[in-house]
Chains A and B, each alone.
Chain A
Amino acid sequence: MNDSKTIAALDVGTGKMQVFIGEIIDGKLLNIVGLGQNSASDVKKGDIIDVRKAAASAQAALSNAEKTSGARIDGVCLGISGTHLRGFRNVGSANVSGADGVVGADDIRRACLDAQSKSISDDKVFIHNICCGYYLDGEYTTDPLGKKASHIDAEFYMLYGDSERIADAIHIVESFGLEVKYLVVNALACTRMVTTFKQRQEGVLVLDIGCGTTDYAFIKHDRTFQAGTIPVGGDHLTNDMSFGLRMSRKNAEKLKRRFGKLILTQEEAESSVWTEGDKQIGDRSIPLMSITKILRARMGELYGIVRGELEDFFIDGDVKEIVIVGGTSRMQGIRAFTEEFFGVPCFETKFSARVKPTLCHPEYAAALGLLDYSLARAESDAVGKKQSPLRSIISKIFKI
């Protein structure tokens, strides 16, 4: 008999709360059985403004998902984002102890412990300690075990967040009587879902441009070298249009979805569009060029910040490709604009073959990635490779 359990992935997004319910069969196979959505009006730039309202919104999404799937949720994989997330790189060192100069498991462990020994202030908590690779006498490798060297360095990227904000996010799930199984930074969640192994080996930058934030992650040698969140997203594009074209936010959003383009043809550059299209009182014509100017200014600025954060990787030519997901990735001309700005190819997002074609939408990438992450963790927990670090995060936050 198959051993199956259900897990839900909750993506607390700025635009909406998304829940995917997946069934993990024999700890290996992931089957998506339910989907629930609800708008999230009390989340801005990835930060929860009103915990109560946000919890109500998340619970509605979870209930919807449970209803559509008919399954009962055992635990939740919670995706977080927001302005409070920060990261830094740290290198830990150890001398190879064996007389034969061969790197052993204990040498690696000591270097890793040294790298992770950095402490942060009490109001912050580590979410992920990601190993970016090792240096054996200064030479990079992903697998140092059994190789000859006198000195080993382990490079880690440490992602941390504000304890209070993370507690709020956990509270949203726990107030519904559910357990948070895994806590994942959204920037990391979707990377495996929308990139191929080859891309991750060569160097790929994944940009998840959502409503309130842009999550980025740079992966090379199949390891995450840097990830983070920039508090600018589709909401900023809408807000800019609302100011620039002097219209309500609602109309600006509508116009952005219908006519928002980052690249215009000569003909389009000279044409105009009607705000409502019904030619009634209040309807007016707006040059397409004006919409594009506003959008390009904002996207150019956002990309400038991304490049600034990953400057070293761009200078060294490590970023070989860019993948864009999230709601804003649907904007026309965004790929061409991305290539023009970064000078790096940006192809259409290809989802993992495990995802049903009907679910292959860029805005689902984060939630699907969370489920995928749950599966990977369930597999590793099943073979006893790793213990969940979530307990230590929770005990630090709640001072248990």
Chain B
Amino acid sequence: MEVSSASNGQRSHGLKIKVVGIGGAGINALYKLCMENIPAVEFCAMDCDADILSQCAIAEKILLGKKSTRSMSAGGDSAAGEASAMEDLDSIKNAVAAVDLLFIIAGLGGGTGGGAAPIVARCAAEGGAKVISFCTMPFEVEGAQKKAEALEALRRLELESDATIPLPNDILLKNAPADAGLLDAFLKADTCMSMAVKSVCKMLLCTGLINIDFAVVKSLFAKKSRKTIFGIGCGSGADCVNSALADLSNCPLLNLPKAPEKADNVLINVICGADMGMNKLQYILESVSNMFSAKEKVRIGAIIDEAYRGRVEICVIGASGVSDGTQAAFGGGTPVRNAEHFEEKSRHGERIKARIKKKIFKPKPETETEQSEFSFMEMSKQRGFFEDTEPNMYRGEDLDVPTFMRKNIKIPL
């Protein structure tokens, strides 16, 4: 459905936004998002499992891998998920054709999400869409292997998407009450993803005090960035701005272990009531800019929603590690480029010293050979040609043992 007319404060753009839920976790989150009743956004569910799709009340559904998985699940095998997506490549291309902004939501570490999501992202990007992916990462307790698979899938998804926001379940659960159950944790991830998608959609579709249109978002991700920054903070009461800023700085998505501390480009969207003053907006702009050390490349948008009287929601989206060509994002020309280039060079010296600290006699932890997390006792004997050589240890794994065995990849014969 295209947004063709302005209603309820909606802007008319002809902008087509679609949210695709891939795999079991993705579809669960998508379902939650459907309940939010976001107007002018299309939803699509994709899975290898016909049963899950048949129980799903979303209008557009694509069953992947009718031949390869025989409409059953991918069985946690990302290679099967990938093969299924390749089998139904045409259906995927049709589903994402003519979309301007595609959100992918998926759980990584499993079969369909990990295998098919990068392919869907690639199809959409080839069709000219900007792709923003939100993906949940497995709990630590789910095992090192699942985590490794999820990281590999994340890496591939990052390559295909314009922005990728990983949501580690462990970190989301940190803020949950001590007695929270597993379902609560999954619900937390779903809520987080739906809030994020909703916020970006509102930013693009609602008429604002200061508008941010699709061109701005597009220029933010003009080139694929290494890291994406994403955070949401909400506040209410007399000091709603400060409480929203405090909530934002505590947002688990901004406190991931590998989250960048600085951003090259930052987009701030504020949803607030009519009681919000310009000085408060200025205060938000300055505070968020300081938070990400990005003073001159910040763009702010503000949407007035009467439902938000006495409260405020701040959504921050940014890109870090963007190469030189994108420094002039937001179409703002090149005034800072030379200065930045100089700054970059002078920072290089410091980075070198940091590198040295990291690289000097990089200890290959000897204890890794004694790692007990993997049940390698039997597998460690599977060294074949390398039987009479010393173990080839790297991050706790013996590289002489076939990779497919360590990664539990099934080889059909």
Contacts and interface: CB of A to CB of B under 8 A. Distances in A.
B404 A293 contact: yes
A88 B362 contact: yes
B360 interface: yes
Contacts of A49: 388-389
Interface string B367-398: 00000000000000011111011101010000
B79 interface: yes
Contacts of A312: 351, 355
A45 B385 CA distance: 11
Contacts of A236: 399-400, 402-403
A243 B392 contact: no
Interface residues of B, number: 44
B403 A240 contact: yes
B152 to A, nearest CB: 7
B163 to A, nearest CB: 15
Interface in A77-105: 83, 86-91
A256 interface: no
Contacts of A239: 383-386, 400, 402
B356 A246 contact: no
B359 A88 contact: yes
Interface stretch (A185-193, A296-304, A374-382): A296-304
A305 B394 contact: yes
Interface string A225-254: 000000110011011101111100100000
A315 B360 contact: no
Contacts of B384: 239, 242-243, 249
Given A239-B386, A290-B413, A138 B407 contact: no
Contact of B352 (A47, A87, A89): A89
B86 interface: yes
A44 B386 contact: yes
A286 interface: yes
A318 B404 CA distance: 31
A35 to B, nearest CB: 27
A138 B349 contact: yes
Contacts of B360: 88-90
A294 interface: yes
A11 B221 CA distance: 47
Contacts of B386: 44-45, 235, 239
A244 B404 contact: yes
B402 A294 contact: yes
Nearest to A87: B359
B5 interface: no
A243 B352 contact: no
A244 B411 contact: yes
B159 interface: yes
Contacts of B390: 83
Contact of B385 (A47, A87, A249, A300): A249
Contacts of A90: 356, 360
Contacts of B79: 293
A317 interface: yes
Given A138-B345, A242-B384, A343-B159, A45 B392 contact: yes
A155 B384 CA distance: 42
Q: Quick one: which of B79, B362, B399, B404 has the most chain A CB within 10 A?
A: B404
Contact of B226 (A135, A243, A293, A315): A315
B174 interface: no
A300 B402 contact: no
B90 to A, nearest CB: 11
B53 to A, nearest CB: 24
Contacts of B352: 89, 91, 135, 153, 155
Given A135-B349, A266-B86, A297-B404, A91 B356 contact: yes
A242 B402 CA distance: 9
B98 interface: no
Interface of A: 44-45, 47, 49, 83, 86-91, 135, 138-140, 153, 155, 231-232, 235-236, 238-240, 242-246, 249, 266, 269, 286-287, 289-290, 293-294, 297-298, 300-301, 304-305, 312, 315-317, 340, 343
Interface of B: 79, 83, 86, 152, 159, 224, 226, 321, 323, 345-346, 348-353, 355-356, 359-362, 382-386, 388-390, 392, 394, 399-400, 402-405, 407, 409, 411-413
Given A235-B386, A243-B402, A294-B409, 4 more contacts: A49-B389, A138-B349, A140-B349, A298-B402
Closest 3 CB pairs of A and B: A138-B349, A240-B402, A297-B403
9 contacts: A88-B362, A139-B349, A155-B352, A232-B392, A244-B405, A294-B411, A298-B402, A300-B403, A301-B407
